[in-house]
Amino acid sequence: MNRSTFNKSVVPGLFAIAVSAYRPKNSEQIWRKLVTVLPSKNAYEEAAYFAGYGKVPKKPESQGIDYDDMVMGPTKRWNHITYGLGGKISEELIEDARYPDIPTTMGDITAELGSSARETIETLVHDMINNGTATTNHTAGDALAIFSNSHVALRGGTWSNLLTPGADLGVTSFQTAYDNFTTTKDDTGKVQIIKVKGIWIHPNNLWKAKELLNSGYDPESNNNAINTIKGLGISPMASPYLTDTDAFTLVAEPPNRKSGAIAFLRRKVTFAKDGDFETGDSKFKVTFRLSVECNKPSNWYHSAGN
């Protein structure tokens, strides 16, 4: 920024100069509700999972018991990526700016760069869902898409966290997804207790989601049938960073704190300021280091819509 690009900031007579945007949505840090956030002190992080023992077979009289082995699963690596952005302001603009809303101080520039950093992090984390049916940016530990109907079960067979075919949000599609999700067995074939806590949707789908989850009667029935979905205690969670307007994703708590989708903040959002000796310009920057991955996405169930 200099007096040429911000020429109106150094002349008298303007009523005001203000930023041309509402309060950014990223100040809410929606991304922290999607993933488990962990610190890191390493160049990268890795995680693996395993399948336990199978069911206990009969033991014939006077014969020995059978022995089983646990099965090791794939290892997933979180490679921390550095992100950075900076801005420069000429010393003449700092000296001559006539309006207090012109961002020339460390606090002003930090607010702008911080908004850009938060927007970037929101986009990076939401990409896990936005592109979750592709393998372009992320894969699960089994090298398949985050959302797949053929995830590999370690002791044989497959499991799914993708409604196939995809369907828009409605009573039938929700019930099918919910039933499929909550009856998913683990890698050994054991029954799991999966409690769905929320449904992620684009804001365009929020009204439909609230109608499904909160109506006392079935919103798609003319017979005043009781809405059994209401008693499940599932909360609608709308995010403008989700790009598919008719997709929905059911979310449960991960099996433990270090499973499911994890974001490592190797370096928190950090600001710095320096001066250019020759030009007198003030330089500001923001940087952070982040990695977002998921080894086994067993606490998400997705429908890509129609």
The CA distance from 209 to 215, in Å, is: 10
- At residue 168, φ and ψ (nearest 5 deg) are -65, 160
Residue 160 scores a pLDDT above 50: yes
For residue 63, being part of any structural domain is answered with no
List the domain range (segments joined by +) for residue 162.
7-28+37-50+72-303
Which pTM value belongs to this model?
0.84
Residue 7 scores a pLDDT above 60: no
Across 18-27, 31-40, 205-214, 278-287, the highest mean pLDDT is recorded for 31-40
Q: Which pair of structure tokens corresponds to residue 168?
A: 């828009």
For residue 60, being part of any structural domain is answered with no
pLDDT band at 98 (very low <50, low <70, confident <90, very high): low
Handedness of CA 48, 251, 37, 24 (dihedral sign): positive
The CA distance from 37 to 269, in Å, is: 14
pLDDT band at 214 (very low <50, low <70, confident <90, very high): confident
Q: What is the CA radius of gyration of the chain?
A: 26
For residue 67, being part of any structural domain is answered with no
What's the whole-number mean pLDDT along residues 70-74?
96
Q: Look at 22-36, 139-153, 155-169, 257-271 and tell me which has the smallest mean pLDDT.
A: 22-36
For residue 2, being part of any structural domain is answered with no
For residue 62, being part of any structural domain is answered with no
The number of distinct structural domains making up the chain is 1
User: Three-class SS of residue 79?
Assistant: strand
Any idea what the Cα angle at residue 157 is, between residues 156 and 162, rounded to 5°? 140
The per-residue b/e assignment along 183-193, b for 16 or more CB within 10 angstroms, e otherwise, is ebebbbeeeee
Q: Which pair of structure tokens corresponds to residue 300?
A: 């998400």
Give the number of C-alpha atoms closer than 13 A to the C-alpha of residue 13, restricted to the C-beta side. 3
Mean residue pLDDT across the chain: 87
- Are the C-beta atoms of residues 188 and 51 closer than 8 Å to each other? yes
Convert the pLDDT of each residue in 100-121 to its tens digit: 555 556 678 888 899 999 999 9
pLDDT band at 138 (very low <50, low <70, confident <90, very high): very high
For residue 58, being part of any structural domain is answered with no
Residue 6 scores a pLDDT above 90: no
Kind and range of the H or E run holding 130: helix 106-130
Which DSSP string do the residues of 188-234 spell out, in sequence order?
A: TS------EEEEEE-GGGHHHHHHHHH-SB-TT-SS--B-GGGGG-P
The CATH number assigned to the domain holding 42 equals 3.90.1690
Across the strands, what pairs with 93?
A: none
pLDDT in the model for residue 36: 95
| CA nearest to 33, candidates 126, 146, 130 | 126
Convert the pLDDT of each residue in 184-199 to its tens digit: 999 999 999 999 999 9
pLDDT in the model for residue 230: 84
For residue 220, being part of any structural domain is answered with yes
For residue 294, being part of any structural domain is answered with yes
